[in-house]
Amino acid sequence: MVTNAEANERREPSCTLVLWDKKYFDLGSMFMKRTLRRHEWLTPNDGSSLMIPPANLGQKYKTEAAAVDYIRKNTDIPVPPISYAFEDDGAVSFMSQVVEGVALDLLDDKDKPIVIKELEQIVETLRTLKSDVPGVPGQTLLCPPWRVCNMEWKPDSCWRPKPETKGEFVFCHNDLGQQNVLVDPKTLKITAIIDWEFAGFYPPWFEGAFWKREGPSCALEGEEDDVQKCRDWLMTYCDEVEMPFPGTWPMVDQDKHDHFRRNPSRANQFAYHASVKKGDEISDEDESATEDGTTESNVKPVGDNDDGYLCWAYRKARNFLFRY
């Protein structure tokens, strides 16, 4: 297994950064980000465990491409003039034309009010885009904002609106922080709104006004936190779709799923050692061998043909190992 530091030391010439879930590439006039292929999955720099990217990341890239295309065709909101997503060899990539500008959060404080005034006009334009059903134009699944679906709740899921869900929904960016607003530092005009991974038609209150201050697109101390309200809406009006990793990786039964949730230390071991006993019952004897966190276990290593079980084990283990 390769650590994050090692992956960055060995990255290919066009790759500018390797994170735990994606790679970034500078292709001259084009920018690209792509999901990690399975053999690229990383460990922390201490080598303690395996970091598994969210299974829904590829769908987020498809959402971004569809959203940018929709905005470009239906508004005058500045977005990258070229953008698209594609799948290749077990990875999903998003490419867009590079747009010149600096992020709003890097401007001097005295200049920000000028830009924010233009940005609020853009938000009003988004609110004029309406639909009687939630969703993303050209896509069947919703990818809610990170503040709602994260490592603490439904990290691998997308959502399919129920057929009976009707109402007045507006187009939301859903990650409209200052870091995603590019500005010409000389004219203070917005050159592009970027990172549309969570966009789509949602209830109007899904769009938090995070552009008014620096920081992440989530509630900070003292701010109203709408996360539970958003989650309740998803659970009521949409069906959860837990996304598979690239390729056909069948999942295993609910009993094993529940066992891992009850035994996080065991899930940690399975993720790190890839030691599972496919198709067999998990016994108390097996459990006692791993509850104390030691490396000794009487469960059998699996072979290359057991990708489905490994995929499931790694995914469930990650819910315990990585908190952000």
Instruction: Give the model confidence (pLDDT) of 107-132 as tens digits.
Output: 999 999 999 999 999 999 999 999 99
Long-range contacts of 273-277 (CB under 8 A, 24+ apart): 273/297, 273/301, 274/301, 274/302, 274/310, 274/313, 275/299, 275/300, 275/301, 275/302, 276/300, 276/302, 276/306, 276/309, 276/310, 276/313, 277/302
Per-residue confidence at 60, pLDDT binned at 50, 70, 90?
A: very high
Instruction: Give the model confidence (pLDDT) of 121-169 as tens digits.
Output: 999 999 999 999 999 999 999 999 999 999 899 999 999 999 999 999 9
Please give the mean pLDDT across all residues of the chain: 82
Per-residue confidence at 246, pLDDT binned at 50, 70, 90?
A: low
> Which positions ≥6 away from 118 have C-beta within 8 Å?
189, 190
> Which positions ≥6 away from 255 have C-beta within 8 Å?
none
Phi and psi at 78, nearest 5°, equal -70, 120
Instruction: Give the model confidence (pLDDT) of 259-304 as tens digits.
Output: 433 443 333 333 333 333 333 333 444 444 343 333 333 333 333 3
Picking from 90, 59, 49, 57, the residue whose alpha carbon sits closest to that of residue 314 is 49
**Helix count and strand count (H, E) for the chain:** 8, 15
In angstroms, rounded to a whole number, what is the distance separating the alpha carbons of residues 63 and 50?
27
Phi and psi at 252, nearest 5°, equal -105, -175
In angstroms, rounded to a whole number, what is the distance separating the alpha carbons of residues 136 and 185?
32
Q: Where are the domains of the chain?
A: 101-242, 254-321
> Which positions ≥6 away from 139 have C-beta within 8 Å?
59, 62, 63, 66, 200
Per-residue confidence at 103, pLDDT binned at 50, 70, 90?
A: very high
Which residue type sits at 287?
E
Which residue type sits at 165?
T
Query: Looking at residue 48, what is its pLDDT?
Result: 81
CA atoms within 13 A on the CB side of 300: 8
pTM for the whole thing? Answer: 0.77
